[in-house]
Structures are given as structure tokens and as C-alpha cells.
């Protein structure tokens, strides 16, 4: 059975990853289609989602997972390790006696509970008493109602999570109101809309990107350039000796590393490292998503016999504006990328843009748009799922 699963980051007040919410095609109830009739634990564990493994998707962070009323009462969350998940109780769950008992039982076992899309009602008090996190959707609730719920939450031992935070202004507003966690793609947008000066340290890595992607670049020059940066040399060898490659004999020199990856592979690797250096003052998730996009588009491109190197750079540079707080148009004028990459990033057009749209729809769990995008590219859904999971795993080894 095909199971589309994407993840959405949840940050703490330091803009570091606290957890990921997992998004399933048509909801988790469709990921486990035979709830009635008491499905055996072994059958559930052998489903595609469990075969993949939560850790491979969340890189060791907790996973927020939505559970229906029926699943709560049947104790389905207890099939996951307590340290791996946050049990998210949907807003349409009726807090009847059996639901409250099931939730209390989970808490007694050490599970963390979160109330999704919360709007205060007296009937939810028993759940407020035991929940650790309350999620408030900033797109659904007016500001005065949010302020009221913030005051109510202070009476209980729960922390507030601001959901659907899409701009830095919304993030700052929620932060100042006392929210502890933040979910949304605010971090993937520039903080300053006008172009600003690129710092001298960032300019060094911009120059590296310029040099590494020149068509006439030579392997010897490539090796000498990498040698000048200890951090890049160390990361290159460490990456190739990671479990992702499962090598019997470790790589011990730059020349071995370049020979193993080849000129193209080494170019792409150095491009990733240089791009990550540009975003050092930003949340780690920014470069992590860029790497997932790059690897995903490279894999999809190879399946369609497209130029996978161009697609890799398209994904890698797709969040460059947020990394440097500048417009994409301004940045593309300073990088010698292929015209089709500029066309896709700046104008959302051209032959490469459908690939970028594909991964963007996957990230947000817009499954209908994803289906349309896959059909437009004549992509097999099974390969798309495999490519996304490979990309998440690859980025986990690469970025951590």
C-alpha cells in the first residue's frame, strides 16, 4: 500500500527544531485503513509507514501525529514509543468519558498530549488538565480570541504552540504573547524585503559557489579549492564515511573522496556546504529543506532522464532568498546558474518549475495538487514516495 507522508517543522523559541508534524495522504486513518475489527499489532507494524521507521523521517525528533477519537479509544497511540511521538487530539474529538479515560491512560504511560486547533469550551477542561501542549491556529482565530486563550492556558500546565505562522511578523507576535512553539513556514521567507548588503564572510561562499559551478572548472582546481577550507574537507570525508554509503573501507583523503564522487558529485557536495555556510545565522531547517529539495529533484530528474545536476541546484538554491534576506531576482544576477533555474526561481515559469512545484506541494501535504503535478510530469507515485524518503534520509546524514 502506498503511503504518502510529509513532515512540517515545529520550532522552539530559539528557532531550533522541537518536533515534526507528520502529514499523511487523506489523514492517518487512511494510512491504517482497517481499524475496525482489531487489527493485530504485527500487521500494523509491517505497514509501509512502520517499515520506513519514524526515526528515518524525523531524524530522532518527536513526531506529532493526529489520532481520531476511535483510534484514541482503541489505544492505537500506545503502539509507538513514548519518546517518539506527541499524541495530537483532533479538534472534532468529543471529550466523552471513554476518550478522557483513554487519554489519561496514555499520560500515565508517559505519552505527551497536544490539543489541535484549540478553541476554549468548558467541556475540554478535563483534556486541558492533562495536555502538555495546546495548538492555536493563527489563521482561524481572531487576535482577541487568541489573547483570551493565552490567559486561559496560564491556569493549566500546558505550553502554547502557534500554528500556521507564515511570516516573521506573526512569529514575533506569537513570541511576544508567550507562545513556546511555532509551526509554519515563516523561516523560509526573507526577513527583509529589500536587498541588503551581503556580508564579507557570506561573499566568500558566494565566490565559492561562483567558482565551483563554472563550466570550465578542472578537477585539480577543485581539489585545491577544497583544501583551502578545513570545514569542507572534513565534512566531505565524514559524509562519505557515514552510514548512508555503508563503505567497507573508509575514505582517508580528498583525492579519494573526489574520485569516489566524481567531478559532478563533488561540485554538488561543495555547493551544499557553501550554501549551508550562507545560512549559518538562520534555522538549521532552512538548509535541511534545501538539501531535501535538491536530493529529491535530482532523483526525480534521473527517473525522467532530465538534467539532474540542474535540478539539484534548483532545489538547493530555492530558499537562497530566505538565507540571505534578499530577493531571488537580485541573487540570481550574482550567480552563474542556468537560465532555466533563474526562470523557475524568479518567475515561477519554464521547463524546470513543475519540478519545484512538485516538491513544494509534497512538503505542505497538498495531495491533490501533488497528484496533478505528478501527472503533468508523468511520474510514478511509488518512485516519488521513495525519492522523498531517500532525500529526507540523505539530508539527515548530510546536515544532521
What CATH number has the domain bearing residue 135? 3.20.20.450
In percent, how much of the chain has pLDDT > 70?
86
Q: Based on the fold, state whether residues 301 and 254 are members of the same structural domain.
A: yes
Q: Based on the fold, state whether residues 93 and 214 are members of the same structural domain.
A: no
Span between the terminal Cα atoms of the chain, in Å: 29
Q: Based on the fold, state whether residues 146 and 64 are members of the same structural domain.
A: yes
Q: Based on the fold, state whether residues 174 and 206 are members of the same structural domain.
A: no
Q: Which of 17-21, 93-97, 244-248, 380-384 has the highest mean pLDDT?
A: 17-21
Q: Based on the fold, state whether residues 18 and 94 are members of the same structural domain.
A: yes
For residue 194, tell me if it sits in a domain.
Answer: no
Q: Based on the fold, state whether residues 152 and 231 are members of the same structural domain.
A: no
For residue 195, tell me if it sits in a domain.
Answer: no
CA distances from 236 to 58, 239, 274, 382 (A): 23, 5, 12, 31
Q: Based on the fold, state whether residues 156 and 213 are members of the same structural domain.
A: no
Are β-strands 159-163 and 181-183 bridged in parallel, bridged antiparallel, or unpaired? Answer: parallel
More confident residue, 256 or 231: 256
The whole-number pLDDT of residue 155 equals: 87
Which residue range is the domain that position 52 belongs to?
A: 5-188
Spatial contact of 130 and 113, defined as CB atoms under 8 Å apart:
yes
Q: Based on the fold, state whether residues 22 and 80 are members of the same structural domain.
A: yes
For residue 193, tell me if it sits in a domain.
Answer: no
Residue 205 pLDDT grade (very low, low, confident, very high; cuts 50, 70, 90): confident
Domain boundary among 147, 168, 188: 188
Predicted structure pTM score:
0.85
More confident residue, 339 or 253: 339
Q: Based on the fold, state whether residues 70 and 101 are members of the same structural domain.
A: yes
Q: Based on the fold, state whether residues 395 and 375 are members of the same structural domain.
A: yes
CATH code of the domain containing 280? 1.10.3210.10
Number of structural domains, the chain? 2
Nearest to 3 by CA among 396, 386, 315, 265: 386
Q: Could you identify the residue written with the cell 496560564?
A: 154
Domain boundary among 131, 161, 188: 188
Q: Based on the fold, state whether residues 25 and 138 are members of the same structural domain.
A: yes
Q: Based on the fold, state whether residues 171 and 289 are members of the same structural domain.
A: no
pLDDT tens digits, residue range 251-290?
877 878 888 878 777 777 888 888 888 888 888 899 999 9
Whole-number Å distance between alpha carbons of 51 and 31: 13
Residue 215 pLDDT grade (very low, low, confident, very high; cuts 50, 70, 90): low
Amino acid at each position: 500500500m502506498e503511503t504518502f507522508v510529509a513532515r512540517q517543522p515545529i520550532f522552539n523559541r530559539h528557532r531550533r527544531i522541537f518536533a515534526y508534524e507528520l502529514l499523511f495522504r487523506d489523514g492517518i486513518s487512511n494510512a491504517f485503513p482497517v481499524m475496525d475489527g482489531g487489527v493485530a499489532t504485527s500487521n500494523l507494524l509491517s505497514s509501509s509507514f512502520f517499515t520506513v521507521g519514524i526515526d528515518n523521517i524525523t531524524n530522532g525528533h518527536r513526531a506529532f501525529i493526529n489520532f481520531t477519537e476511535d483510534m484514541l479509544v482503541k489505544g492505537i497511540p500506545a503502539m509507538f514509543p513514548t519518546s517518539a511521538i506527541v499524541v495530537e487530539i483532533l479538534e472534532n474529538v468529543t471529550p466523552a468519558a471513554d476518550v478522557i479515560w483513554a487519554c489519561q491512560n496514555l499520560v500515565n504511560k508517559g505519552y505527551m498530549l497536544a490539543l489541535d486547533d484549540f478553541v476554549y469550551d468548558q467541556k475540554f477542561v478535563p483534556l486541558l488538565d492533562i495536555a502538555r501542549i495546546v495548538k492555536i491556529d493563527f489563521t482561524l482565530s481572531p487576535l482577541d480570541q487568541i489573547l483570551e486563550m493565552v490567559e486561559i492556558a496560564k491556569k493549566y500546565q500546558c505550553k502554547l504552540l502557534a500554528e500556521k505562522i507564515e511570516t516573521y511578523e506573526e512569529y514575533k507576535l506569537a513570541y511576544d504573547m508567550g507562545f513556546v512553539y511555532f509551526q509554519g513556514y515563516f523561516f523560509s521567507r526573507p526577513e527583509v524585503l529589500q536587498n541588503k548588503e551581503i556580508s564579507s564572510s557570506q561573499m566568500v561562499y558566494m565566490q565559492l559557489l561562483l567558482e565551483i559551478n563554472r563550466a570550465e572548472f578542472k578537477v585539480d582546481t577543485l581539489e585545491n579549492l577544497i583544501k583551502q577550507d578545513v570545514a569542507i574537507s572534513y565534512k566531505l570525508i565524514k559524509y562519505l564515511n557515514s552510514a548512508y554509503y555503508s563503505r567497507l573501507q573508509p575514505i582517508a583523503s580528498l583525492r579519494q573522496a573526489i574520485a569516489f564522487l566524481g567531478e559532478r558529485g563533488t561540485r554538488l557536495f561543495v555547493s551544499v556546504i557553501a550554501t549551508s555556510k550562507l545560512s549559518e545565522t538562520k534555522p538549521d531547517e532552512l538548509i535541511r529543506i534545501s538539501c531535501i529539495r535538491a536530493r529529491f529533484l535530482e532523483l526525480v530528474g534521473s527517473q525522467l532522464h532530465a538534467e539532474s545536476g540542474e535540478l539539484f541546484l534548483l532545489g538547493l538554491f530555492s530558499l537562497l532568498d530566505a538565507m540571505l534576506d534578499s530577493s531571488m531576482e537580485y541573487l540570481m544576477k550574482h550567480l552563474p546558474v542556468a537560465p532555466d533555474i533563474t526562470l523557475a526561481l524568479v518567475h515561477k515559469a519554464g521547463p524546470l518549475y513543475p519540478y519545484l512545484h512538485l516538491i513544494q506541494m509534497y512538503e505542505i501535504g497538498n495531495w491533490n495538487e501533488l497528484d496533478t503535478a505528478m501527472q503533468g510530469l508523468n511520474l510514478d507515485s511509488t518512485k516519488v514516495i521513495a525519492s522523498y524518503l531517500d532525500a529526507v534520509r540523505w539530508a539527515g546524514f548530510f546536515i544532521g
